[in-house]
Chain A
Amino acid sequence: MSGASTWSLQESDFSQIQACLSALLKASNARCSLLVDRNGQLLANAGEELSFDATAFASLTAADFSANDQLAKMIGEQEFASLFHQGDKESMYLADVARRVILVVLFDQRTTVGMVRLKVKQTVSDLNRIFDEMFARLEARGAEQAPGLLEGAEDEIDKLFGD
């Protein structure tokens, strides 16, 4: 591989993911949840409106997870499949999904970390299935490549950059 490959999120995948996140919030009484890819791109979010910059939050989430991944390896663990950050009022729980994305759940005193952990398990298994199917589909398509979205768009790209 010469560089990183491309992947895409279809609208149908998106609505399945969204449904998963909403179900989790309902079951766990958490405030909101986000799905972030390992490169720090926000894929989806559900629940209360976010009061912070979601893009910045997503990049820090990925960095947090990747730093912890390395720490896990140093102490002889394959990975930390989940992380828990406890605050005074607000807490967050992060869980790995298919080694590709990270599920983040933000919650407060209206629920407990035990409850969140329990419900996240189900969501992670649902999301694993969605992502496995999605990546199998991309692979079947021989998808090292973007699925042709920018094919033949050279002129448009030239124009965008003014030459």
Chain B
Amino acid sequence: MSMINYASREINCKLVYYGPGLGGKTTNLETIHGKVSPDTRGKMVSLATETERTLFFDFLPVDLGTVRGFKTRFHLYTVPGQVYYNASRKLILKGVDGVVFVADSQLDRMEANIEAMQNLYDNMAEYGYDVTQIPFVVQYNKRDLPNAAPIADLQAQLNPGWPVEDTAKQKEVPDPYHEGEFLVQQVDGQWVERAPYFESVAVTGDGVFEALRAAAKLILKSLS
């Protein structure tokens, strides 16, 4: 739930990094924390176990610039990816304005990715939110590893698209991030829309800001 504060002239939005355990959600926030200038970000808070697995959440506030004279402030959260932390994971989704799904590209993590994606849809539905109707991007992380699955396979499994019922929206929309690809297109006579996707290596920062900015932009557009 974004909040516009006229007194401090800020727009506050909540962006949640979701995905399977060890996929790289926390690393995304650490990288962002390390790479943006200290005066545009706040303190990072991590509630983690002894072994650095997220226990409740990580939190990092970042400013991404000014629109209409209002500072756009994004509160980035990660969830704990481990399956048995679902109660905490669900709490973090409350009031979310947008989601970055961080998938682990490694072949043997495909099942875990699929399970986490299903869990996202389920938890969102419990709040009455529909993932296909909110700012949502998919980030395929760990592209540096030799056992990374091909993007086409990951897309087919995790981001196959959802049907576009609204006839006004049934027209081709090119994917601004991948030449020659589409976010909305006809597949076998059926109109489908996919979430924008990004390839990343969270440990080096490759693709991290692209995904963040795409999500932030979708959130601000959803307010306009």
Contacts and interface: CB of A to CB of B under 8 A. Distances in A.
A37 B3 contact: yes
A63 to B, nearest CB: 6
Nearest to B61: A55
B37 interface: no
A51 to B, nearest CB: 13
Interface SS of B by simple majority: mixed
Interface residues of A, number: 43
Nearest to B68: A153
Interface string B1-43: 1111111000110100000000000000000000000000011
Contacts of B43: 53, 55-56
Interface residues of B, number: 50
B95 interface: yes
A6 B4 contact: yes
Nearest to B133: A2
Nearest to A52: B43
A9 B59 contact: no
A7 B220 contact: no
A146 B11 CA distance: 10
A161 B1 contact: no
Contacts of B222: 3
A161 B217 contact: yes
Contacts of B149: none
19 contacts: A2-B129, A3-B129, A4-B1, A4-B2, A4-B95, A6-B4, A8-B3, A11-B7, A14-B6, A39-B14, A43-B5, A55-B43, A59-B59, A59-B61, A146-B4, A149-B223, A150-B67, A161-B216, A161-B217
